[in-house]
Chain A
Amino acid sequence: MIEIFTRDFMRFALIAAFLVGLTAPAVGTFIVQRRLALLGDGIGHVALTGVALGFLTRTQPVYMAVVVAILGAVAIELVRARGRTGGDVALALLFYGGLAGGALLIYLAPGESTASLNVYLFGSITSVQGADLAVMAVLAVFVLGVLAMYGRELFVLCQDEEVARASGLPVRFLSLLIAVVAALTVVVAMRAVGLLLVSALMVVPVATSQQLTRSFRGTMALSVVLGLAATLGGLTTSYYVNVPSGSAIVLLSLAGFVLALGLGRFVRRGSWETGKGRAA
């Protein structure tokens, strides 16, 4: 059991898993409340172009992924804010563009092939290097800092945008902020579970914990706990059983959801639904 901590690559992987398990569900709570559960998927697709661009320009794929993911997130937010109609189609176009762009750019990069993208598509947490880890840590601290500072405002924004505006909140800025924070979270999480599964860690722990909790804070806290359990548990599993870490993490997370779905019925029946019975 101890040997898992003695290997360098596993120590890096555990730290990475910790960062991902902490940030993705915390940001995810706001994203889910804002009805943007698929935002992470969209950004993930766009970020692939960034990764390929990194290979093509021989820079760190992570840096390029950050830049392109932010641009993609801003574009998605602008499309969302502009029109109610056709917004989802515009988002879909952006997703396809991101995926196709990534495949094209990696083909153009000398000595690379789509196989080079596999690590980023499906994750490979055990291949995380010190430099990657530093970038992940900086991004994670930034993301958590933003949530701590703007959490109250983001809560109002994600609850009801019109009320946010009538409270004098800078709605456009906050909308961009949450999109950018989601983009950074995608980059933090991409090495752990891959760009195709990144959104799972932002959505599934939140969907799980909202079966069991009654408050926003409680939901966020429990989803972070569940996220950490999934990333650390999935990584440990993949170390001992030799399965891909990304899928182990996501499947573990989904198993938790199924469990909570059953459990939630009991919890709700037992306690607060009785509030309904009280005189209105």
Chain B
Amino acid sequence: MLVTSSADKAADVKTAPVFAMSDGRVSMDGRLILRGIDLTVRPGEVVAVLGSNGSGKSTLIRALLGLVPLSGGATKLYGAAPAKFREWWRIGYVPQRLSVGGGVPATVREVVSSGRISRQSRFRPTSAADREAVTRALAAVDLSDLAGHPVRALSGGQQQRVLIARALAGEPDTFVLDEPTAGVDAESQRLLAGTLGALIGEGKTVLLVAHELGPIEPLITRAVVLREGCVVHDGAPPPAVGVHALPGHDHVHPHAEEPAEGHLRGWHLAEGSQS
């Protein structure tokens, strides 16, 4: 385990951007999924990564977390390379769907409690603080009543809330959500918007991938649009209603006119799941 050697360095880590990728490239099975990605996310930003299926959105956030190795360029998490990063409790990762694994049942509370893992020590039993955080997280997503139920018996929207509660339980600074609105019913989407709104109010950083923003659209402060593995727009979220201008979009991209062709929903070109 690395210990920061000087106070200087510690201060540097505090003010460092949450994510900083420069010229990031990812290839899988010989195919280039992401190329030349420059992306910096600062604390307190609410960033949506948008794009059609296969544009590389999910790969981008997984690469930012170090879950997918880069084939070129570099990426940093709070100023440290993912392999050297030690403050994982600062990150709350919400995957696209709940993994059922080999089918051994687990209750909602068990899954949500596992979100405390990066704050727990191996030799210490579950503390009162752990239990309180889990209770709060369950209440935040309105699942307190179902805490004792097995997760596999829940609907898709409820399972999504379990995953969000797991991240909430860890009390991170930054939330990374992979398609939190995909395949989720309207009520769960509204609940998600409420939960995210509260987190943003507390100054948390949010990075999410979306196909369709739905009720979380007004919360977004910045949109990054991917097309075929390249960033084609990075700036203010394009207006929700079909206006061609992009107010607040102060730098010009080679494809800057592309995202302007419609409102935000214009990017969900195809339905279905996204890897």
Within 8 A of B (CB), among A133-166: 149-150, 152-153, 155-156, 158-160, 162-163, 165-166
Which residue of chain A is the closest to B145 with respect to CB atoms? A278
- Per-position binary interface string of chain A over residues 187-227, scored 1 when its CB falls under 8 Å from any chain B CB and 0 otherwise: 00000000000000000001000100111111100000000
Are A168 and B104 within 8 A (Cβ)? no
Residue of A nearest to B161 (CB): A280
- CA–CA, A276 to B156, complex, Å? 10
Chain A 225-273 residues near chain B, CB threshold 8 A: 272-273
B residues 89-135 near A (Cβ < 8 Å) are 89, 91, 93, 95, 99, 101-107, 110-111, 114-115, 117-118, 120, 122-123
**Contact for B149 among A32, A37, A169, A214, CB less than 8 A:** A214
When distances are taken between beta carbons in the complex, the residues of chain B under 8 Å from A217 are 110
Q: Is A58 an interface residue (CB 8 A)?
A: no
Establish whether residues B185 and A163, one from each chain, have CB atoms under 8 Å apart when the complex forms.
Answer: no
B86 near A159: Cβ-Cβ < 8 Å: no
Contact with B along A11-40 (1 / 0, CB 8 A): 000000000000000000100111111000
Contact among B106, B123, B145, B187 for A149, CB-based, below 8 A: B123
> How long is the Cα–Cα vector from A280 to B156 in the complex, in angstroms?
8
Q: Are B89 and A214 in contact (CB under 8 A)?
A: no
Hey, which chain A residues are within 8 Å of B157, CB to CB? 280
Report whether A34 and B110 are in contact in the complex, using a CB–CB cutoff of 8 Å: no
Cβ of B148 < 8 Å from any Cβ of A? yes
CB proximity of B72 to chain A, nearest CB, Å = 21
Tell yes or no: A167 within 8 A of B by CB. yes
Q: Is B10 an interface residue (CB 8 A)?
A: no
User: Given A153-B122, A159-B111 in contact, is the A35-B101 Cβ separation under 8 Å?
Assistant: yes
- Given known pairs A159-B114, A166-B91, the reply for A214 and B102 (CB within 8 Å) is no
Interface of chain A, main secondary structure: helix
**Chain B residues positioned under 8 Å from A219 (CB to CB):** 104-105
The answer to whether A280 and B155 have CB atoms under 8 Å apart is yes
B residues near A165, Cβ cutoff 8 Å: 65-67
Residue numbers in B under 8 Å from A272 (CB-CB): 149-150, 153
Cα of A272 to Cα of B105 in the assembled complex, Å: 12
Interface membership of chain B positions 48-91, coded 1 if the CB is closer than 8 angstroms to chain A and 0 otherwise: 00000000000000100111000000000000000001111101
Specify which chain A residues have a CB less than 8 angstroms from the CB of B181 in the assembled complex: none
Given contacts A156-B117, A213-B105, A216-B105, contact A168 B146 (CB under 8 A): no
* A279 at the B interface (CB under 8 A): yes
Q: Are A159 and B106 in contact (CB under 8 A)?
A: yes
Chain B CB within 10 A, most for which of A35, A37, A158, A160: A160
Which chain A residues border B205 with CB–CB below 8 Å? Answer: none
Q: Least Cβ distance of B3 to chain A in Å? A: 16
Q: Does A275 contact B (CB under 8 A)?
A: yes
Q: Please name all residues of chain B whose beta carbon is closer than 8 Å to the beta carbon of A150 when the two chains form the complex.
A: 122
Q: For the complex, what is the distance from the CA of A219 to the CA of B101, rounded to whole Å?
A: 14
Closest B residue to A279 using CB positions: B187
State whether B154 touches A275 (Cβ < 8 A).
yes
Contact B117 A153 (CB under 8 A): yes
Check if A156 sits within 8 Å of B114, measured CB to CB: yes
- Establish whether residues A32 and B103, one from each chain, have CB atoms under 8 Å apart when the complex forms: yes
A152, A206, A215, A218: the one contacting B117 at CB < 8 Å is: A152
Tell me, in angstroms, the Cα distance from A183 to B214 when the chains sit together: 50
User: How far apart are the CA atoms of A276 and B111 in the complex, in Å?
Assistant: 18
Interface residues of A (CB under 8 A from B): 29, 32-37, 149-150, 152-153, 155-156, 158-160, 162-163, 165-169, 206, 210, 213-219, 272-273, 275-276, 278-280
Residue contacts A-B, CB under 8 angstroms, 25 given: A32-B103, A34-B102, A152-B114, A158-B101, A158-B102, A158-B104, A160-B99, A163-B95, A166-B93, A166-B176, A167-B93, A167-B117, A167-B118, A210-B103, A210-B105, A214-B153, A215-B148, A216-B104, A216-B106, A219-B104, A272-B150, A280-B156, A280-B157, A280-B158, A280-B187
The residues of B with any CB-CB pair to A shorter than 8 Å are 62, 65-67, 85-89, 91, 93, 95, 99, 101-107, 110-111, 114-115, 117-118, 120, 122-123, 145-146, 148-150, 153-158, 166, 170, 176, 185, 187-188
- Given contact pairs A159-B99, A167-B88, A210-B103, enumerate 20 new A-B contacts (beta carbons under 8 Å): A152-B117, A153-B122, A155-B106, A158-B101, A158-B102, A159-B114, A160-B101, A162-B95, A163-B166, A166-B176, A168-B88, A168-B118, A169-B117, A214-B148, A214-B150, A214-B153, A215-B148, A217-B110, A218-B105, A279-B187
